[in-house]
Amino acid sequence: MVGTMADISSLRSRVSGPVLTPTDEGFTDEVFSWNTSVVNTPDVVVGAAAASDVLEAVFFARDNGLSVAVQSTGHGGVAVTGGLLITTSRLNIVAIDAGTRIATIGAGVRWGQVVAAAAEHGLAPIAGSSATVGVVGYLLGGGLGPLSRSHGFSSDYARGFTVVTPDGRVVEATADTSPDLFWALRGGRFGLGIVTGVRVELVELATLYGGALLFDGDDIEQALRAWVDYTATTDPQVSTSAAITRLPDIPQVPEPLRGHTLLSVRFAYPGDVETGARLAAPLREIAPVYLDVLDEMPAAAIAMIHNDPPDPGPGWTSGRLLTSIDQRFVDVLLAHVGVNKQTPLLGVEVRQQGSATAVDVPEGSAVGGRSGNFTLMVIGVPDPSLFETVVPGAANALFGSLAAWISPENTINFAEHSPDGAAVSWSPEQQARLNEVRDRYTQSLV
Ligand SMILES: Cc1cc2nc3c(=O)[nH]c(=O)nc-3n(C[C@H](O)[C@H](O)[C@H](O)COP(=O)(O)OP(=O)(O)OC[C@H]3O[C@@H](n4cnc5c(N)ncnc54)[C@H](O)[C@@H]3O)c2cc1C
């Protein structure tokens, strides 16, 4: 039950951003989710324009018995029903200290903004595959990006979070101050308060050898089988993944790709072009290459490696961790999503992990799934009428057939639509410690 209009007016007078209820103009835009199949229907939304707005919103929720949720971009795919929603898109400042290589990032910032700001100094964040994903939501889940094998989970580079707790405290969580909360925020995702800003360490990286090799229809099986063999000896500094995507025959898709089913073998090596080209050479031989967009690239263009869709739209994804892959895995995968199969799965992606992702930070973190050697992600066709049963049915049939390769663990950023995702994304020891931290700091706020 939302507070009275007098309460709402009073809240409006105390915050600098908008405070909107469902009948107010601008409400629909304020609660808009990047995943347009998700419709948020909170009782009230506070568009935080300053960290103090978050505090006021939290006090208001507490005084009126409202639950509190937070949205940065809406990539997370979970609808907010009732209660108070805090949107963070106005907390959009990025400041780079080139001397210390620290980026100070507001809670509403997306990775693309940090990548661009850091590149002006020859630096780069260890970002995710998509420029439009929010930094904070992503980091709270650990984060596996295009440089995961060379650099590890993105949250390994977090150096401090500013968090508002339900009792109205502003906590600076770092390795030295509130280290237990800092441990939890690096991968523990839920129930840890509302982050208003984060500081991440950047790496020196102006260019990398990266991009993708695309293989068309009939060549996909040969290329995929050879990529699987390649992963047995991938250089520890190389991150690679393979994605089968059915590109629709629509004008928005560029002409050479339109209407094709393609295998995209992605590659990222954060070093010199000669070594990168040498390490990628075997992949250029695995089958006839339909399109070669793998070369030296500015670090600022890193989102081009995965080429995730830049615009909002309806989305359904689900992911698992894999312990291993082999030729039998390919047989099963292609039986479900091979070129000539009818499937409501638009894409299936396997990313190799391991190397740096397997090693925790010296002080420890709540990141789950470090033992996984591959991630598997499936993406449904963008038709919300199929999201209820058809797409999940096809995804679950695939996961069921791949049970022999699926890890008992998951990592939370890839666990969407995984019924036991939250339960298996952390070890029992991590779960126990997370619960203890949550109880102490937040009493399940977010
Ligand atoms: C196209 C696409 C590409 C992706 N690529 C990758 C990838 O390469 N690697 C990877 O690891 N993951 C990836 N993901 C998963 C992504 O990291 C998660 O969905 C993440 O939670 C999205 O965060 P967001 O802030 O953009 O989304 P939101 O929906 O705004 O937030 C998601 C959740 O994060 C929490 N949250 C957000 N902001 C705050 C805050 N200020 N304080 C407290 N909690 C907060 C809340 O629980 C919220 O429900 C991808 C997702 C998509 C849709």
Q: pLDDT tens digits for 292-328?
A: 999 999 999 999 999 998 999 999 999 999 999 999 9
Report the nearest atom of ligand 1 relative to the CA of 143: 11
Domain boundary among 183, 204, 225: 204
Residue 57, domain extent: 5-87
The pLDDT of residue 320: 96
Mutation probe of ligand 1 site: the residue of 75, 111, 349 with most atoms within 8 A of C-beta: 75
Cα dihedral: 127, 132, 134, 140 (round 10): -50
Domain boundary among 189, 204, 219: 204
* Within a domain: 172: yes
- Shared domain for 118 and 170, answered yes or no, is yes
Please check whether residue 214 is in contact with residue 293, taking contact to mean a CB–CB distance below 8 angstroms. Answer: yes
- Shared domain for 66 and 105, answered yes or no, is no
* Within a domain: 308: no
| CATH code: domain of residue 187 | 3.30.465.10
* Within a domain: 336: no
Nearest to 97 by CA among 76, 120, 74, 81: 120
Mean of pLDDT values over 28-44: 97
- Shared domain for 50 and 101, answered yes or no, is no
Query: Which tokens go with 409?
Result: 């663990």
* Within a domain: 22: yes
* Within a domain: 422: no
Q: Is the pLDDT of residue 74 over 80?
A: yes
Task: Give dist(CA 248, CA 381) in Å, integer.
Answer: 10
* Within a domain: 23: yes
pTM for the full model? 0.97
Nearest to 283 by CA among 226, 244, 206, 330: 226
Residues 6+ apart with CB under 8 A from 190: 422, 438, 446
Tell me the CA–centroid distance for residue 32 and ligand 1, in Å: 15
Binding site membership of 136 for ligand 1 (Cβ less than 6 Å): yes
Please check whether residue 22 is in contact with residue 83, taking contact to mean a CB–CB distance below 8 angstroms. Answer: no
* Within a domain: 130: yes
- Shared domain for 118 and 178, answered yes or no, is yes
Report the chain's mean pLDDT, rounded to a whole number: 95
| CATH code: domain of residue 27 | 3.30.43.10
DSSP strands (E only) in 338-420: 345-352, 374-380
Tell me the CA–centroid distance for residue 274 and ligand 1, in Å: 35
What is the tally of structural domains in the chain?
A: 2
86 SS3 class? strand
Mean of pLDDT values over 168-196: 95
Which helix (H) or strand (E) segment is 440 a member of?
helix 428-441
* Within a domain: 245: no
Cα dihedral: 82, 84, 90, 96 (round 10): -110
Binding site membership of 128 for ligand 1 (Cβ less than 6 Å): yes
The pLDDT of residue 3: 62
Domain boundary among 150, 171, 204: 204
DSSP strands (E only) in 334-381: 345-352, 374-380
Binding site membership of 71 for ligand 1 (Cβ less than 6 Å): yes
